[in-house]
Amino acid sequence: MRTQVAIIGAGPAGLLLSHLLHLNGIESVVLESRSRADIESTIRAGVLEQGSMDILDEAGIGERMRKQGALHHGFELAFGGGRHRIDLLELTGKAIAVYPQHEVIIDLVAARVAAGAQPLFETSEVALHDIDGARPAVSFMHQGEAGRIEADFVIGCDGYHGVSRPMIPQGVREEFQRVYPFGWFGILVESAPSSNELIYAQHERGFALVSTRSPTVQRLYFQCDPKDKVENWSDDRIWNELHARLEHKDGWKLNEGRIFQKGIIGMRSFVCAPMRHGCLFLAGDAAHIVPPTGAKGMNLAISDVKLLSRALSAFYRSGHQGLLERYSEEALKRVWRAEYFSWWMTRLLHTFADATPFERRMQQAELENLVASRAMRTALAENYVGAF
């Protein structure tokens, strides 16, 4: 089998890239290790920057997002017993949407299927060959049979644990990493949202976040030990912790409801550079990870493939390699800024067990400065909506 672009991984990066290439008349094949049902139901990120919404709209797959996604013009920062609104629209002219990642995946798979280019689901033993030679190829097992695809380019969109990144030789690849000493406990709750806007709360017991999924489902997170077990957290214990971290004297109440999903995610910052080696290009989590505090993970994956689809389109249109050659450098510029913002938000809002009393006071002072200064609020808002 031969194609122009072989894509490994049907996450937001792989599926969107395949769709954008299709719109530019470029053929691709997507290989995915999981089933369609699995990728369409895995609960992950929820926030789309305005720029990501625009990309999905321009690609003709924004209809459900516009109807079902909730547009948010601001969010709240809670600390020291008070709540402070960050008015994204007023400060930046932009907004964000809360639209779950698995819904984006459903929209993208539907678009691929409609174009007659369904990803190859449940492939295994995916291996890359000759990525810096003349005949790049990907071999795999699918439905009990061995397959091989030869391609001009191989794109690793296979997430942090994928097989693509390790193909960049160790002497060439540089990796930067920080693992945080905490994780997020995430739950889905059957109840009306407690707040019209997201609430990011700093509290001495640990960070908490109030988000939504729909008019009848809330998404809530709280800082926990990354090695903790879901079984250690009864519903009662979860609600006690959330009430303690989120409710203050102002009378605002967190809505309770049936908890129907629980999970713990670890938190790390990670960057691999370069994001290209020979015919292999990396995009999304395969190349970089951010802690979820700044809501950047899915957005970075989307902006990587926007750049990459432009570069590949220019190559196939005119034979020019310039954009392909600059891809890694251009993508990494945005990646590092998002890494900085996500690290900064994480440091600002979480409780570090080893922080000294002085460092704790500095954290409070930074939060006070932030809400008191329009300039600092603007910088936060610009980073959050991705206005750069």
Binding site for ligand FAD (CB under 6 A): 8-14, 31-34, 39, 44-45, 101, 123, 126, 157-159, 162-163, 265, 284-285, 292, 295-298, 301
CA distances from 117 to 26, 105, 145 (A): 12, 15, 19
Beta strand 75-79 pairing with 82-86: antiparallel
Residue 102 touches which member of ligand FAD, ligand DHB, none, C-beta under 5-8 Å by kind: none
Q: What angle do CA 336, 130, 284 make, to 5 degrees?
A: 25
Beta strand 75-79 pairing with 199-201: parallel
Check residue 47 for interaction with ligand DHB (CB under 6 A): yes
What minimum distance in Å lies between the beta carbon of 13 and ligand DHB?
17
> Site residues for ligand DHB, window 73-132 (CB under 6 A)?
98
| 130-138, 257-265, 278-286, 287-295 -> range binding ligand DHB (CB under 6 A) | 287-295
Residue 219 touches which member of ligand FAD, ligand DHB, none, C-beta under 5-8 Å by kind: ligand DHB
Contact 3, 27 (CB under 8 A): yes
Give the nearer residue to ligand FAD in terms of CB position, either 94 or 213: 213
What minimum distance in Å lies between the beta carbon of 88 and ligand FAD?
16
| 139-147, 164-172, 259-267, 291-299 -> range binding ligand DHB (CB under 6 A) | 291-299
- In whole angstroms, give the CA distance from residue 80 to residue 123: 51
Q: Which of 7, 15, 198, 246 binds ligand DHB (CB under 6 A)?
A: 198
Contact 28, 1 (CB under 8 A): no
Omega of the bond prior to 292 within 30 degrees of 0, cis?
A: no
What minimum distance in Å lies between the beta carbon of 162 and ligand FAD?
4
Beta strand 276-277 pairing with 258-273: unpaired
Residue 162 touches which member of ligand DHB, ligand FAD, none, C-beta under 5-8 Å by kind: ligand FAD
Q: Tell me the HSE value of 42 on the side-chain side, using a 13 A CA sphere.
A: 11
Report the catalytic residues.
72, 200, 292, 296, 384
Check residue 219 for interaction with ligand DHB (CB under 6 A): yes
* DSSP H/E element including 173: none
Residue 211 touches which member of ligand DHB, ligand FAD, none, C-beta under 5-8 Å by kind: ligand DHB
Check residue 211 for interaction with ligand DHB (CB under 6 A): yes
* DSSP H/E element including 230: none
What minimum distance in Å lies between the beta carbon of 226 and ligand DHB?
15
What minimum distance in Å lies between the beta carbon of 141 and ligand FAD?
11
Give the nearer residue to ligand DHB in terms of CB position, either 126 or 298: 298
Give the nearer residue to ligand DHB in terms of CB position, either 140 or 184: 184
- In whole angstroms, give the CA distance from residue 31 to residue 15: 10
Q: Which residue has the tokens 């409801």?
A: 257
Give the nearer residue to ligand DHB in terms of CB position, either 74 or 136: 74
Q: Is 249 exposed, middle or buried (0-12, 13-18, 19+ CB in 10 A)?
A: exposed
- In whole angstroms, give the CA distance from residue 216 to residue 36: 25
Give the nearer residue to ligand FAD in terms of CB position, either 327 or 371: 327
What minimum distance in Å lies between the beta carbon of 375 and ligand FAD?
26
Number of residues engaging ligand DHB in binding (CB under 6 A): 11
Give the helix ranges, DSSP H, for the chain. Answer: 12-23, 36-39, 50-58, 63-68, 88-92, 101-114, 235-246, 297-318, 322-349, 357-372, 374-385
What minimum distance in Å lies between the beta carbon of 261 and ligand FAD?
12
Check residue 46 for interaction with ligand DHB (CB under 6 A): yes
Indicate the length of the chain as a whole number.
388
Looking at residue 156, what DSSP letter applies? Answer: E
Give the nearer residue to ligand DHB in terms of CB position, either 209 or 385: 209
Residue 158 touches which member of ligand FAD, ligand DHB, none, C-beta under 5-8 Å by kind: ligand FAD
Contact 201, 221 (CB under 8 A): no
Looking at residue 29, what DSSP letter applies? Answer: E
Interacting residues toward ligand DHB by CB under 6 A:
45-47, 98, 198, 209, 211, 219, 292-293, 295
